[in-house]
Every structure is written in structure tokens, then in C-alpha cells.
Structure 1
Amino acid sequence: MNQKHPSPEENLNQKGTTEVASAASDGDQSLLLAWDELAGHSADDDTPVGGADQHEDEPEETGEPTAGQPAREDPWEAITAAHGRAEDVDDQTRQARLAEVRDAREQRQRRWAELRANRAAATSEAASTPAGEASGNGTTPLAPYKDPRVAAEAEKEGPPEWLGNRWREIPVEQQPEAWIGLRRWVDWLVREYRLDVQIVPPCWYRHPDITAELWAAMNMEYKVWAEGAPSLSPMMMWHPNLQQMIVRLREMVGRFGCAGGSGHKEPKSLTPGLEPFEIAYDEEDWRRIALGRREVLSVPRPEEGRRYTRAVGFDAHGEQIVSSNLVGSAAPVTRWTPEARLRYGSVAGAEDSEIWLEISDAKGVETVMWESSPDGESWTPLEPGQPDQDGPDEPETETENVADDGESPEGDEGQGAAEAVPKPSI
């Protein structure tokens, strides 16, 4: 197909020297040559073609090929072809360059976000320090300078590494230092609190239980004074527990018999073949309990009758190796037999009495209604605190058929006073 090319004037107006520079950057020399020819310059020098300095023997360029010379390519066709190649190269280069710019921009944005977050965290942390709170100007205060030698000495302060551990868990390389530290503390304790051999015998280090008591006391005594400030811990914690420990130590030493000054006495074993204080285990019984298995299952009760439950154990191959006993579950009770009982709680009021109600087996009782009756037979509802609607209470006793003169209506002798009839009461 023949492609329609723009005229030379349109090419010059639209592209101009910009296309020439772009082509030069991509190494397209053919476009430069065509442009030079179009502008009237030689490709080898700056002398205008057909100008005043043109040699007389040089033929005038007419666009027609001379004898013995090949046909010369049209400059505009060369420019158009070079322009198409330059556009392809420029588009690929432009897309690659845009991708690089986008990547660089995203990296800068991520870096700026990271720097802002780090600055915000540092500002918040510095503001929470006493120096930051004292500044109050919203700026990030400088961290206080610490001399490396002073910091190294400060790190050495504090309790020894072995203090605060269980006595049995102190590393082997620290055990000699721990023994020496404990002995120094025990010597101070004996002199400070005037403890005799009935409490801390000379062979205390041969008794594991006494050693454990003294080791725990050493840790506690260090702890109550560790704050380095006035507190209630020495009086409320250290001294009361010290007195309790003294009582326990006195009992231990008296049981061992090492307080008489005759030296250390090893305890005797009460079980032949075993060391003192060694437990004579029933290994078979221990194995049954230690290697046992315990599970809990919630079993629903049947709606009626009884249902039995058992557990069956299987080995890794699915073979039954154990079966439990049977346990029966009965249906839940659906009938209730509540019982109600009233009793006086207090009669302190002049116009009312406090009555207590107790209902046993009251699962089926939803509501309670209080009633009042003058004779114990006819009842009307009564709310707590409501006065009795049947009128004022009558005397506790009443007389029947008593005449005004105190004589009986029948006039029988010896019956001047009627029998007292008790009033029904709640």
C-alpha cells in the first residue's frame, strides 16, 4: 500500500529541529543527513549547496542523476522513514523512562512515610520521659548523655546473679560463690539478732531443710530493702516472718539433736535399706496412679426410667482391653412437694409484726400471695405492709355469755367466770 506522506512544509512546521535532535540522540544518522541536504548544507561540511562559493565545475543539483552516478534518494522520503524509526524508539524509551520515574517516586514516598513514622514514635517516646515532660515545648529532647564507664559500673550494681534463684537451680559454676554469700549472711543474722546454737547450729550447712530456710530468709531480707526508700516492708514482712522462722529452726534443731555442742549428728533411717528421709514407695501402686487416665463426661438423664452408662478402653489396634462398671442415671424428678412455714421475725413495732416465710422444695412455686383472716377460715388478700381490712385486733382472750353483774346466765354456782377461749392466731 502507498502511504500518504505530509508535505515538506508540514513536516518542517510540526517537527522542526526537535525531531532532528531526538533522532540524533538515538543515533539515527540518516535523518541528520537528510535534514542537512534539505537545509541546503553538505553532509561533510557547512558550505551551502548552490551558494556563492560553489565551484564552477560542479554541476547544479537538479534532482536528476548524472551519468555514472546512482539515483539519489529523495530527502523527504529519508526523513519520513527515519522519523518512523525514531518514533518507535522514542515510544519504548519513553515508556521505560516513565516506569523508572514512577518506581523512584513510590520509593521516595515510602521512605518519607517511614521517616515520618519514626519521627512520630521518637517524639512520643521522648515526651513520655521526665525530660520530655519538663520541656513542654513539643520538641524532641536530646537523650541524656551517659559516660560509658559510669554506665558499665551501674550495670554491675544490684544483687548477684545467683541470688533470687532456687537453691537447687543455681548453676554449678556459681554454687561456691552462693555458699560463701549465704555463710556471710548467716553470720550477720546470728550476730544481729543474737541467735544461739539452739536455732542455728554450727552444722547448719549439713541440714538441707535449715539451709533452705536460711536461703529463703536471705532472699526476703534483700527484697524488703531493695527499694532503697522508707517503706512498711521491713516491719510488716521481714520481722514477722523472721520470728516465725526462728520458731521453725528451733524445732528442727531440737529434733536433730545437733544443739548440744557434740557435733553434727546424722539422722537415722527408720526403714531398713533406705536412706534417712527416703520414701518407701509402693512402685506398682505408684505406677497405676501416675500412668492412669482421667476423663469427665456430662451424660443427659433420661426422660423416664433409668439409663446405664459404662466406659470401654481400646488399644492402638482397636482391641478392647478394659471395661468399666455400670452407672445408672434416673429420670429427673418432676413432682415437687413444697412446704411453707411462717414464724415471727420481730414484734418490735407497736402496730405491726414482722413475719418470715420459708418454703422448702420451692422449685415449682412461681408467686406467693399473702392472706389475712379474722377466724382462720375466711381469707382475703393482704399485701405486705397493708393494714388488716377486717378491723382492729380483738383481745387475746374473750369471754362468752358473761352477764354484767359477773354472774352466769344460768346462775349456776361456781360459774361466775366463763372459760377463756384462745383467739386463733397465725
Structure 2
Amino acid sequence: MTTTEELGDLQARLETVEGALADLIDAVSERPAGGPWLWTRLGRDRQVALWEELADFVAWLTARYLSNLQVREYRLPPCWYRHPVAVEQLTALMVAHQGAYNEAAAEPSPALVDWHERSLWPTLDRLRHLKVFSGCDDGHQDHQWTAPPWQADETFYEFVAQSLPAEPEEER
């Protein structure tokens, strides 16, 4: 038989669950189309965080892959972040990498191979095919493309600061 005290505890637990569910529904319904990676819908703070995340990813990508290739066409120039198409493509590649290397995926799967075959190399091919960097007036020379792996520097952070919305916006 259930006591009044037990019923009270059950009611309190149910209210907690209902509150958490309402918060979850609000959080999901407030997400913009494109998720937290759609640059044009992000407020200033989220853009800063995404730039930092993307910079870390590109630094890793250039150190782990691109600087170890003999094929120069797959390397990124130091000013990659000044090219909107490259930023969008590399953001998508980063998100795909996060999905493939998801810590919650404890079971073996082809996700890692898929990331390489369906994301990494096609993205690099697309950047090359579209000649995203060919019209760049940043003055890169061939030797700059063979430099050590890219790292975020003062020039990168200045660019990010200048590219942010003028006034802080609320996250949309």
C-alpha cells in the first residue's frame, strides 16, 4: 500500500521530470535551422566560440593530414579563414568529424572510414575543384602553402574580431 508520503515523493519526482521535459522541448524548438553551425544565424558570442572551434579543427587537420601530404593542392593557405566558401566547407567537415568520432558511439562502425571517404577527401577535392583560393589577393606564394601546420595567430584573431556583428546579439 502506498503512503501519503510516498505519493508526495512521487508527485515531486513527476513535477521534476515534467519541468526537465519542458526545458528540453524549449531548447530543441529554439534551435535555429542549421543548428549551432549556421554562421548567419549565430549571435556574437556563439560566432566567437565557433571560430575558435574551427581554428582548433583546422590546426589539427593541417598537422595530422595536410602538412604530411606531398600533393600541394590539398593544403590550405594561411588565410583560409578569409574565404567564405572555405569557412563553410571546413565547418561542415568539422561537424562531420564530430559526428564520426562521437564519444557516445561505443560500438564498432564504418563511421570513421565514412568520414575519410565521404567527407574529408571530397571536401578537399571540392575546395580544389572550385579554386576557392585561386583569386586570393592575400599574396600567398607556393612556399607559404608548404609551411608548417597552420596555427591561429594575431592576424586570424584580428580578422575574427572584424567579422563579428557590430553589436552583441542574443542567440537566435
- Give 1:214 shift: 0.3
State the match for 2:38 in structure 1: 166
* Of 214, 237, 261, the match for 2:141: 261
* Contact 1:198/1:254 (<8 A) preserved: no
State the match for 1:192 in structure 2: 64
* Of 218, 227, 238, the match for 2:115: 238
Please give the residue correspondences for 1:284-323 in structure 2 after superposition, counting only pairs within 5 Å.
none
| Letter of the 1:261 counterpart | Q
User: Secondary structure in 1 aligned to 2:141?
Assistant: coil
Give the TM-score normalised by structure 1.
Answer: 0.23
- Give 1:185 shift: 0.8
* Of 202, 207, 226, the match for 2:78: 202
- Give 1:179 shift: 1.3
Give the superposed CA RMSD.
Answer: 3.6
Give the number of the structure with larger relative contact order, counting CA–CA contacts within 8 Å between residues 6 or more apart: 2
State the match for 2:49 in structure 1: 177
| Letter of the 1:256 counterpart | S
Distance 1:166 1:183 in 2: 16
* Contact 2:100/2:115 (<8 A) preserved: yes
Distance 2:133 2:51 in 1: 25
Distance 2:66 2:42 in 1: 29
- Give 1:253 shift: 3.4
Q: Deviations over 1:298-328 (max 9, x none)?
A: xxxxxxxxxxxxxxxxxxxxxxxxxxxxxxx
Distance 2:133 2:39 in 1: 23
Q: Structure 2: where are the runs of 5+ without partners?
A: 18-34, 145-172
* Of 245, 249, 252, the match for 2:130: 252
Distance 1:207 1:179 in 2: 13
Q: Deviations over 1:74-120 (max 9, x none)?
A: xxxxxxxxxxxxxxxxxxxxxxxxxxxxxxxxxxxxxx7xx49x58x
- Give 1:228 shift: 4.2
* Contact 1:217/1:242 (<8 A) preserved: yes
Aligned CA distance change for structure 1 residues 255 and 217 (closer, same or farther; 3 Å): closer
* Of 94, 104, 117, the match for 1:218: 94
Distance 1:183 1:231 in 2: 28
* Contact 2:83/2:133 (<8 A) preserved: no
Aligned CA distance change for structure 1 residues 209 and 231 (closer, same or farther; 3 Å): same
State the match for 2:170 in structure 1: none
User: Secondary structure in 1 aligned to 2:130?
Assistant: helix
* Contact 1:182/1:215 (<8 A) preserved: yes
- Give 1:255 shift: 6.3
Distance 1:215 1:254 in 2: 15
* Contact 2:36/2:42 (<8 A) preserved: no
- Give 1:256 shift: 2.4
| Letter of the 1:198 counterpart | E
Q: Deviations over 1:391-413 (max 9, x none)?
A: xxxxxxxxxxxxxxxxxxxxxxx
Q: Which has the higher helix share?
A: 2
Distance 2:48 2:56 in 1: 13
State the match for 1:63 in structure 2: none
Give the TM-score normalised by structure 2.
Answer: 0.51
Please give the residue correspondences for 1:4-23 in structure 2 after superposition, counting only pairs within 5 Å.
none
State the 4+ residue runs in structure 1 displaced beyond 4 angstroms: none
Distance 2:91 2:132 in 1: 20
* Contact 2:54/2:91 (<8 A) preserved: yes
- Give 1:254 shift: 6.2
Aligned CA distance change for structure 1 residues 260 and 254 (closer, same or farther; 3 Å): farther
Distance 1:245 1:172 in 2: 27
State the match for 1:316 in structure 2: none
Distance 1:166 1:249 in 2: 19
* Percent identity between the two aligned chains: 29
* Contact 1:210/1:249 (<8 A) preserved: yes
Aligned CA distance change for structure 1 residues 167 and 254 (closer, same or farther; 3 Å): closer
| Letter of the 1:220 counterpart | A
Q: Which has the higher strand share?
A: 1
